[in-house]
Amino acid sequence: MTENSSPDILTADMIADPKTYCLDVCIGSIQNPVADFAIYSPDVPNSLIYKSIPLKTDEDSINVESLSEAIYNNPLLLSDFHRISVIVRSSHYMIVPLPLADDSEMIEKLLRDRFSKVNDETAIIVNKLPKLHAAIVFGVEPGVFNLLNRLFDNPPIYSHFYPLLTYFNDLRESGNYEATFFNVTPNALDVVLFKNETNTLDTVRIIPFRSINDAAYYAISYQTMTSGNLQGNILISGSRDTRMQLVNRLKEFVDTVMPVVFPSQIFKLGRVAMTMPFELAVMPLCE
């Protein structure tokens, strides 16, 4: 199987043995309603199949019926894969100390107190980050949660911050340097700041923006807040076109700004990986 960036339909006969392949799913936000699917065999070069499908929205959530249609209309997605993982871009999230992650009553109360749209029906999920002594707590709409569990047999569900924080932290530790990390989508900036002296998280935030100038302003503000000046390292991942626009805009003010190095292990699966949401691209390295 050679890489196929966007086949019209993912048919069940596209791969011979699904049990040797993995499926990673990424569900976007209401601001960027899209479902992205990556199918690949981890040890087979150029095995990656990628498809992105726009979704409809309701008043304040992804339309469950459109997500269901996106999956059922592509029969390959319902195959018996070796592993399935799901990423959800939820704006209802918190970072909590790791010891609190096992106190389900407390974290549910904290999330409901912070977000009025999180209620008794919301699925509340915890992703632990032991290296960072923290956990991500986030809410998923019950209709989306139930559909994913039914179609994919109760897959592990991750906040989009889970692969970002895991990969950025590994990059930071392997490079032994301090940096401010940003992940950019067409309409939002994910901010990730680490406390290097304690190897913990400082800031994890989603900032919506309307223009690349707005995104640059927010990035500069956080960089100044972190280092007191514009001399520190800024590393940017995310949507290719938007990422390069932001890098080029920031270079007018900051010397040490550059794209995050794309992992060679993922590039080998297929060049099309570079067009995927970054959290989806690096997910195979974070499990």
CATH number, domain with residue 217: 3.30.420.260
Residues 83-101, buried b or exposed e (16+ Cβ, 10 A)? Answer: ebbbbbbbebbbbbeeebb
Residue 62 within a domain: no
Helix (H) or strand (E) holding 179: strand 179-184
Q: What is the pLDDT of residues 96-117, one digit of tens each?
A: 999 999 999 999 999 999 999 9
* Residue 4 clears pLDDT 70, i.e. is over it: no
3-class state of residue 258 by DSSP: strand
pLDDT above 80: residue 248: yes
What is the number of H-type helices and E-type strands within the chain?
Answer: 8, 13
Residue 113 lies in a domain: no
Mean pLDDT of 2-9: 64
* Domain hosting residue 205, numbered range: 163-264
pLDDT single digits (tens) 74-93: 999 999 999 999 999 999 99
Nearest C-alpha neighbor of 9 from the set 63, 84, 71: 71
Say if 274 falls within a structural domain: no
Count of domains forming the chain: 1
pLDDT for residue 240 is more than 90: no
Residue 197 lies in a domain: yes
The shares of helix, strand and coil residues in the chain, as percent rounded to the nearest 5, are 35, 30, 35
Read off the pLDDT of each residue in 165-184 and give the average, rounded to a whole number. Answer: 87
Q: With beta carbons less than 8 A apart as the criterion, state whether 43 and 273 touch.
A: no
Assigned domain for 170 exists: yes
Q: Does residue 245 lie within any of the structural domains?
A: yes
Q: What is the pTM of this model?
A: 0.94
User: Is there a domain that residue 239 lies in?
Assistant: yes
Asked if the model's pLDDT at residue 175 lies above 80, the reply is no
pLDDT of 233 reads 85
Whether 107 is in a domain gets the answer no
- Across the chain, what does the average pLDDT equal? 92
Say if residue 196's pLDDT is above 80: no
d(CA 254, CA 251): 5
In the block, tokens 């890098």 appear at 247
229-254 mean pLDDT: 88
